[in-house]
């Protein structure tokens, strides 16, 4: 009887370890370091798709076809800076502010499996901006 109880306890413990190891881990800010994303609030920010690599980010407007490239630097797993690199395409000749020297500091907060909330500041405005970034 004692061996049966010990075996049952070991079996339950083993199953618990396997379930924990195989289960989904909690989302992490690093899940959003590289990939394709979009802004959650199109009415406020437009229909931009974000293509992010380890050291760059390209924002592409699906309707406007405006494409802007930024250099990307991760300061921590949750904080990064985007620095204007170039306007890659602007076929509709959209009037843009002077972007040379422009930067945006961003912080990842409120992470889910498919999105995060970004709090950011930019050299173009004293305002703090909060928006949802979604995995695409």
Residues 102-126 have pLDDT tens digits of 999 999 999 999 999 999 999 999 9
CA distance 19 to 74: 33
Residues 52-63 have pLDDT tens digits of 999 999 999 988
CA angle 91, 89, 29 (to 5 degrees): 135
32 Cβ partners below 8 Å, 6+ apart? 52, 108, 111, 116, 133, 135
pLDDT at 3: 53
Q: Are 40 and 135 in contact (CB under 8 A)?
A: no
Residues 4-41 have pLDDT tens digits of 554 444 444 443 344 444 555 789 999 999 999 999 87
Q: Which of 4, 60, 7 is nearest to 36 (CA)?
A: 60
**With left for phi above 0 and alpha for psi between -120 and 50, is residue 112 left, alpha or beta?**
beta
């Amino acid at each position: 009887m004692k061996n049966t109880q010990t075996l049952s306890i070991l079996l339950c413990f083993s199953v618990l370890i396997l379930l924990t190891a195989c289960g989904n881990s909690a989302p992490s800010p690093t899940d959003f370091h590289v990939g394709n994303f979009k802004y959650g609030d199109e009415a406020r920010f437009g229909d931009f798709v974000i293509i992010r690599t380890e050291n760059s980010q390209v924002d592409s407007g699906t309707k406007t076809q405006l494409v802007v490239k930024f250099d990307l630097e991760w300061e921590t797993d949750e904080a990064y800076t985007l620095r204007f690199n170039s306007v890659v395409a602007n076929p509709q000749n959209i009037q843009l502010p002077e972007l040379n020297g422009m930067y945006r500091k961003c912080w990842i907060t409120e992470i889910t499996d498919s999105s995060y909330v970004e709090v950011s500041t930019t050299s173009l405005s004293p305002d703090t901006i909060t928006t949802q970034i979604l995995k695409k």
